Structure 1
Amino acid sequence: MTMDRRGFLTAMGLGGALAVTGVGPARAAARGRAVATGRAVATGRVVPPDWAALRARLDGRLLQPGDPGYPVARLGYNELNDGQYPAAVASCTSARDVQWCLDAARGHGVPIAARSGGHSYLGYSVPADGLVMDLRPMARVEVAPDGTARVGAGARLIEVYAALAAAGRLLPAGSCPTVGVSGLTLGGGVGVLARRYGLTCDRLAGAELVTADSRTLTVSEECEPDLYWALRGGGGGNFGVVTSFTFRTAPAPDLTVFALRFPSGSAVEVTGAWQRWIADVPPELWSNCVLSGGRPPTARVGGCYVGPPAGLAPLLDALVTAVGVQPTSRTALPKSYLDAMKYMAGCANDTIAQCHPVSEGGRLPRSSFVAVSRVLGAPVDPARLVELLDGRTGLDLLLDSLGGAVADLAPDATAFPHRSALATAQVYASATRSSQPAVTASVDAVRDGLAALGATGAYVNYIDATLPDWGTAYYGANLPRLKAVSAAYDPDGVFAFPQSVARA
């Protein structure tokens, strides 16, 4: 079964102490050379990186234009970003490789980015004329007897799910199987088990991170607490390169996945009832509501329940009663944790190997799309919401529920600020190069219409080039503290990019 991005998003019919290593005389000398090079950049005497020297030092490969393998290695997930050609792509097998990359490129005016899954909507992980540190070789997942999981920064979600399921454990995370664990976690990690188990970042116990000056830090609540706080929702690429994560996992129970489709003309009733319903259901139930543009727009509801179908049934009955219209179809299927995650991913009948990109021997293609977001702090007028989709064929609005365990933490407990929100809202539409301007205008119009309804926040993992006041939209009142952390760990802006915290 082949699924594009919309397939992933609409599956189920939904559419203190400092720990420093590797700072010997050679490393100190490298940092000294970087400072000197930085001065050269400041005076206009730009010296290109010594790519040959970096190639010789790396344990992994360094690919540049003209090298075999570069045409594929340079690509991110969104085909609309294929016009971006990095100067080099370094396959990093360890934190030491990341250090070598930073030593080589820092101070040369070369954009630097780490890439895990490559799903940055705007292609920030494959910067034009920059250095991509490809973390995919670091994808090992190890589960300790106490359920703690150490996950390499290059692991894809399907790999994390498979390894945890084999140990009888789970991690709440997203639905797309090829998304990298790094970007998802660092931006917060909204997923299909969030209402019961929290965001992915809420399960983060610690991380190994390489800073802009090539130090390797062990980060936790006790070690570098400000940085640990920032890594939980502050967005990928801002504070350093995380090379591994340590998560507190939970026992994996049996789950039930469900989907309800409603007839044409009932979108207002469905959307209004869903917003009231999801605010009151127990945290064991996660759901989304998908509106598809058209004339009229249509609505469908799906989700995942921690428990058997018998426990879910009365909750779905309550939704149908509130809608006042019978669904045209209703399914509820019991699943194991791994089977439920595969079902959500749109690869229920595939092997784990097939739930990978085509470039890695799997069956899942890349996609070409425009997507932006808002966050619903509270229910909005369903009639006005549905009106935003009227006539916009090919455009979907996906409302993913929050609440439950997400709301158990205060907005400033982690960098993710949207703790009291009802749902995230993603506006998504497929696009080609030729249709991109018109599709972008339509997507942005829905985004701005949501803001007019009071949904002014946004989710940083759905990063948006033209989002008004994006720093506040992504981070709310946490932005000043995030900027302070960025200034402390990357004072020279080595990791700066168009929507980095430093530039907010």
Structure 2
Amino acid sequence: MTIDRRRFLAALGAGGAVLVAGAQRAAALDRAGPGTGAGGPSAVDAWPARARSGAVLPPDWQALRTRLDGRLLLPADQGYGEARLGYNELNDGQFPAAVARCTSPSDVRACLDVARGHGIPIAARSGGHSYLGYSVPAGGLVMDLRPMARVRVRPDGTAVVGAGARLIEVYAALAQAGRLLPAGSCPTVGIGGLALGGGIGVLARKYGLTCDRLAAAQVVTADSSLLEASPDSEPDLYWALRGGGGGNFGVVCEFTFRTEPAPGLTVFSLGFPAGSATAVVGAWQQWIAGTPFEMWTTCQLSGGDPPSCRIVGCYVGAESEANQLLDQLFAAAGVQPSTRSVLPKNYLDAMKYMAGCANDTIAQCHLVSEGGVLPRSSFVAVSRMLGPTALDAGRVTDLMAGRTGVDLLLDSLGGAVSQLAPDATAFPHRSSLASAQVYASATAAGQAAVTESVDAVRDGLAELGATGAYVNYIDATLPDWGRAYYGANLDRLQSVSRRYDPDAVFAFPQSVTCG
């Protein structure tokens, strides 16, 4: 059995029964990179005209197959039907022209050499969790980086991570070396999309975003050059890769991250009684802004009559300290939780807990079937970024009234995230109190109605002052999406894009070059 992030958090809020019973695995979707579908353009015609202008002949796929030693799948090939799929089933109508399994930067360069200039979309895929499917472009070439998944921890504590590594693999390798990296909670999300868009996660308030830990990146640019981006080499590219979004500036094949020693952690889940959502959300916003950097929480509102509220979190420190801070929240809200679970964990066990696979092996946390295919989900999700001040909790709760099946997930920021200036990296939302993700399961038949409801919550949050958005929750119908994702950093990002991809080889409907 697999569960998505919304149901997983609901189970935690109900007292952790899912974990205790061993019903494993959350597909948390949290920090996936760009992706087409769900209400947005998905065909080749959606790509900017300059990205496909002058196309006369298709790429020489047989030549590429030869250069890749046969690791190229075309629609008629066995295995293509599975290899083409991303995580979100709503994007299953997208059929790439080819999927290349890349094992090295040389393979990526070969793909670009053959496909560049033929007017087709070209995209890299790390974990495949792209919300809208931009990493599996219709009629285009998918460079599947999954084979590049090695994780090495050096004696100095830096970690060299292949772009195709999934988070659970990164966590396991780091834990073995006694180190940690702040990142997301979904075990099968790829490190590539997560880090390039910023990397909001359960240790962010203590250790910063994933992109804040990036020391260097090995990048293949649109002209097939292999570059190292770091503070001392290609510094503008290095800046853009830290929050500028996946797929915009080149194909990152390898990341080098600065890590930290892994301390003991405390995880917790809290459920609150019916009718208390407004009080809890109001108190939570004030409380989280004043807690030590060691405290991270997500406050979840589930739509209904009335909406319900749950809080799940991770504290860097002892169980007793976490309980003292939680008691302060309850006192401020004037509400005691109806369910309360607070548990000490080591780093790896805490990450497995947050992933919903606490009772599984690392292999089981991969969620891979015998055929090598990830169980998938069908959903619509959008985002906003809260400002530095609290929103009107009553109006937030009102947005969720009657919206059964829709969840609003408020992931706390501040702390270490706020210690950098908005233009220090490409991620601009340094003063945000929290990110807001609006999420709902959806079928293809019911997608339009679900999208309308989810978008209404998103737009309602904007009216309350939450006007930014998170590029890793990429959104096909987001108004003024370039400024929402990147704020004042958009102009510099576009300049970097023009420098490293002047012919818009990597263009897609919401690429920086189109913003």
One-letter amino acid of the structure 2 residue matched with residue 410 of structure 1: A
| CA contact 1:370–1:431 (8 Å) conserved in 2 | yes
Q: Does 1:488 align with 2:494?
A: no
Contact 1:357 1:366 in 2 (8 A): no
| Aligned counterparts, 1:148-187, within 5 A | 148-187=158-197
**Alpha-carbon distance change, 384 to 402 in structure 1, aligned in 2, over 3 angstroms:** same
Percent of pairs with identical residues: 75
Q: Which amino acid is 1:348 matched to?
A: A
- Provide the rounded CA distance (Å) in 1 between the counterparts of 2:309 and 2:373: 29
Aligned to 1:442: 453
The corresponding residue for 2:510 is 499
What TM-score does the superposition give when structure 2 sets the normalisation length? Answer: 0.91
1:96-175 equivalent positions in 2, closer than 5 A: 96-175=106-185
Kept after mapping to 1: 8 A contact 2:51/2:121: no
Please say if 1:337 is aligned against 2:347. Answer: yes
| 8 Å CA contact retained: 1:116, 1:183 | yes
The answer for unaligned runs of 5 or more in structure 1 is: 16-37
CA–CA separation in structure 1 for the residues paired with 2:394 and 2:361: 42
Q: Higher mean Cα deviation, 392-401 or 4-13?
A: 4-13
Equivalence for 2:313: 303
**Which digits, 9 at most, give the CA deviation of each residue in 1:53-83, with x for residues without a partner?**
0000014610011211111100000000011
Q: Give the equivalent residue in structure 2 for 1:382.
A: 393
Match of 2:378 among 364, 368, 380: 368
Partner of 1:400: 411
Residue 429, structure 1, aligned to residue 440, structure 2: yes
> Quick one: structure 1 residues 363 and 232, their matched pair in 2 at CA, closer, same or farther if it must change by over 3 Å?
same
1:4 equivalent in alignment to 2:25 = no
Give the drift of 1:364: 6.0
Task: Give 1:476's aligned residue.
Answer: 487
Q: Map of 1:206-285 to 2, 5 A cutoff?
A: 206-285=216-295
Residue 160 of structure 2 aligns to a residue whose secondary structure is: strand
> How many angstroms does 1:500 deviate by?
0.2
- The residue matched to 2:459 in structure 1 has which SS? helix
Contact (CA 8 Å) 1:8, 1:175: kept in 2 or not?
Answer: no
The 2-side partners of 1:68 and 1:252 are apart by 43
Q: 2:202 aligns with which of 182, 185, 192?
A: 192
Q: Aligned partners of 1:96 and 1:50: how far apart in 2?
A: 17
Task: Name the structure 2 match of 1:32.
Answer: none
Q: Structure 1 residue 47: deviation in Å?
A: 1.1
What secondary structure does 2:99 align onto?
Answer: strand
* 1:437–1:39 CA distance, 2 compared to 1 (3 A): closer
CA distance in structure 1 between the aligned counterparts of 2:50 and 2:299, rounded to whole angstroms: 53
Quote the residue 1:24 is aligned against. Answer: none
Distance 2:353 2:310 in 1: 17
* Structure 1 residues 447 and 64: CA distance shift in structure 2, 3 A: same
Report if aligned partners of 1:60, 1:91 keep a CA contact under 8 Å in 2.
no
Structure-1 separation of matches of 2:247 and 2:152 = 24
3-state DSSP of counterpart to 1:48: coil
Separation of aligned partners in 2, 1:5 and 1:86: 28
Once the two structures are TM-superposed, the CA of residue 355 in structure 1 deviates from its matched residue by 1.0
Structure 1 residues 495 and 83, CA gap change in structure 2 (3 angstroms): same
Query: 1:146: Cα distance to partner?
Result: 0.8
> Which residue among 376, 389, 402 is the counterpart of 1:391?
402
Match of 2:41 in 1: none
One of 300, 303, 309 as aligned partner of 1:293: 303
Q: Displacement of 1:325 after TM fit?
A: 1.4
Deviation at 1:363, TM superposition (A): 9.5
The 3 A distance-change label for structure 1 pair 39 and 47 is: farther
Structure 1 partner of 2:425: 414
TM-aligned CA deviation for residue 6 of structure 1: 2.6
2:85 partner amino acid: L
The superposition leaves residues 190-242 of structure 1 with CA deviations (integer Å, 9 ceiling, x where unpaired) of: 00000000000000000000000000001100000000000000000000000
Offset at residue 11 of structure 1 (A): 6.8
Give the letter aligned to residue 13 of structure 1. Answer: G
Q: In the aligned structure 1, how far is the partner of 2:266 from the partner of 2:55?
A: 61
Q: 1:249 to 1:10 in 2, by over 3 A?
A: farther
Aligned to 2:34: none
Maintained 8 Å contact 2:87/2:374: no
Q: Indicate conservation of the 8 Å contact 1:186/1:233, yes or no.
A: yes
Contact 1:4–1:366, Cα closer than 8 Å, also in 2: no
Look up the match of 2:360: 350
Q: CA deviation at 1:9?
A: 5.9
User: Of the candidates 477, 480, 496, which is equivalent to residue 466 of structure 1?
Assistant: 477
The Cα shift of 1:13 comes to 3.1
Number of equivalent positions: 481
Change (3 A) 1:406 1:116: same
Relative to structure 1, the CA distance from residue 331 to residue 5 in structure 2 (aligned partners, 3 Å threshold; closer, same or farther) is closer
The 3 A distance-change label for structure 1 pair 41 and 186 is closer
CA distance, structure 2, for counterparts of residue 56 and residue 288 of structure 1:
49
Q: How far, CA to CA, are the matches of 1:383 and 1:260 in structure 2?
A: 20
Give the gaps of 5 or more residues in structure 2. 15-25, 27-48
Cα distance in structure 2, aligned partners of 1:390 and 1:274: 19
Q: Tell me if the contact between 1:370 and 1:428 (Cα under 8 Å) persists in the aligned partners.
A: yes
Match of 1:25 in 2: none
CA displacement at 1:41 relative to structure 2: 6.4
Structure 2 CA distance for aligned equivalents of residues 293 and 117 of structure 1? 30
Work out the CA distance in 1 between the residues paired with 2:115 and 2:12.
44
Q: Which AA in structure 1 matches 2:158?
A: T
| 2:13 corresponding residue in structure 1 | 13
